[in-house]
Amino acid sequence: MDAITKPVGAFYQTDSSCHFCVWAPEKESMMLRLVQPVERELKMKKDAWGYFTAEVAEVAPGALYFLNPDNEGDFPDPASFNQPEGVHGPSQVVDHTFNWTDGSWEGVPRQELIIYELHVGTFTPEGTFEAIIPRLPELKETGINALEIMPVAQFPGNRNWGYDGVFPFAVQNTYGGPEGLKKLVNACHAHGIGVLLDVVYNHLGPEGNYLEKFGPYFTDKYKTPWGKAINYDGAYSDGVRSYISDNPVYWFRHFHIDGLRLDAIHTIFDQSAETIWELINSKIAQAIEELQRPFFLIAESDLNSPRVVQEALSGGFGFSMQWLDDFHHALYVLLDEKGRPLYEDFGKMEQLAKAYTDGFVHSGEYVRFRKKTFGASSSHLPGDQFVAFVQNHDQVGNRVSGERLSVLVDFERLKLAAAALLLSPYIPMLFMGEEYGEEAPFLYFVSHSDKDLIRAVREGRKKEFEDFKWEKEPPDPQREQTFEQSKLNWDKRQKGKNGQLLQWHQNLISLRRNRIALQNYSKESIKAQPLGQQGFILSRHSKNKEQQLLCLFNLSDDEIKYSPAATPEKYKLVLNSKDERWVQQKEKAYQVPTHLAAGETLYLPPVSVLVFACG
């Protein structure tokens, strides 16, 4: 007989009753204790598969409750939909009914995505979902059409990156809870902006993690760098797999989320005949058919494997897209020489060219950092199956002082970085504030209440940076000042060089949207070749070659001499990063020819990008 799995949580019914369900296969008894508005205690009924259920009349939304397995104490519901008093407090009954106004929303096509990663707590002074809403017109004007929100699953305290979440179905109370997130998503859709949510299915945080009080959610069979691995293939794993695989559909159905970014999927281990990826994809496919809206799955993966975006039924993981770390590494070390020791296997212009034409730079070569051959070729994958970036929360926040690229390189190189990304054949992602050169750091911060855990986090952070041979200690993650330092300075956005950089990003995004050559993600349409170790040429053309773009990058401080090969007709200049409009007053502007033909000699200005179009 096949195992039976059930949705877990507290499901409010239209007749003012509530259906409670919790999975605890090794427990003999389960008590439901309602604590507000009226105290009541009820014994839950257990079925053959370890699910305890109770149908309770006259339970209003907002009611608070605990669960007590085998008289071991009162604990929050593992599938809590809201934790209004934090990770240690009671769970709350939620009515997921919401006055949605996005009935005509059809999503943003994958090929058109311009993603913007943000952290709710530091994006605005208020640090809430609703405080983001007034900023949406500015993001839309910039060209952003999708937010990627760092994890919002309930975590301890009021400040955290989100990867210490312990209630996968509960929305962080200090951000505004489930109602606040729905308001944000609804407003985003009204502005033509999709919403992607970062989720963590490889581990749960330590503080407030009561799942083991209920069942075998974790396993010692595998290890992760952050805590116990989730039990996807061991004894009693059916209930765990159901719990996790229901989560993507939960966000899709109740919050109208347009897609998920899954954290570190390489630390999700499953040897089942039907993998967790097949199960998740199957449930999402059913929901897409029912809801008639698209839904993306984006992977963060350290595997350099094309199988990540291969269909799950054919042995892949079934993701729509995956992050392309190699693009960041290959570009960053050529922009900031001081950063080269951090990426010992990168530093050649040929590698950056390969990042454009192939995707993975490490595709089977020996990698010193890993002390082994690593990766497989992705040259056959279209570019829209990758998300590329020059900054993200990891690349900034895992530096000892949380430095953004804006404080590591000069203004001209910031413009180069933006052009390298937005002219690439990949789905681009900006990190909040990147579009105007925000200089505030993005540091690692927590707000735990367990003193031993606070000490362990501090010591672990120091040890991590010792391994990378940093010369100073990282800021204390527990201090509120560390969090406050990481907030964006919105007053800088339109001023001086920040406003100039913002306009540069707007111009590049407009170019990307209006040039069909930049909308072709086929690898056959992309060519890249180094200009020595000083720069590179990126060539893009549309599907029928009716339009071609020639992007010339000079990453050096010297002029580069360039003569194009035979071309069918003259190229017309459409972008010059050294034009008067784009340089600061102290910088020298360079006038370059407005047309370029075969045999003509062009001198690329120092630290510049020129874009020529044909057709």
Active site positions, annotated: 263, 300
Residue-by-residue DSSP string for 257-309: --EEEES-GGG-----SS-HHHHHHHHHHHHHHHH----EEEE--SS--GGGG
- Binding-site positions read 261-266, 325-329, 393-398
> Interhelix angle for 349-357 vs 325-335, to 10°?
150
Distance CA 54, CA 46 (A): 9
Whole-angstrom Cα distance, residue 532 to residue 526?
Answer: 19
Residue 598 amino acid letter: A
Whole-angstrom CA distances from 407 to 272, 401, 410, 578 are 47, 11, 7, 21
Hey, what amino acid is at 479?
Answer: R
Which residues define the annotated binding site for substrate? Answer: 261-266, 325-329, 393-398
Give the residue among 314, 310, 215, 308 at the shortest CA–CA distance from 262. 308
What letter represents residue 219's amino acid?
T
Q: Please tell me the distance from the alpha carbon of residue 339 to that of residue 337, in angstroms, as a whole number.
A: 5
- Residues in Cβ contact with 384 at an 8 Å cutoff, skipping those fewer than 6 apart: 110, 111, 321, 426, 427, 521
Residue 249's φ and ψ, nearest 5 degrees, are: -65, -35
Pairing of strands 548-554, 535-541: antiparallel
Query: What is the distance between the terminal CA atoms of the chain, rounded to a whole angstrom?
Result: 65
Angle formed at CA 106 by CA 100 and CA 108, multiple of 5 degrees: 115
Question: Encoding tokens for residue 408?
Answer: 């590591």
SS3 string, 129-169, reads HHHHHHHHHHHHHHCCCEEEECCCEECCCCCCCCCCCCEEE
Between CA 506 and CA 144 the distance in angstroms is 9
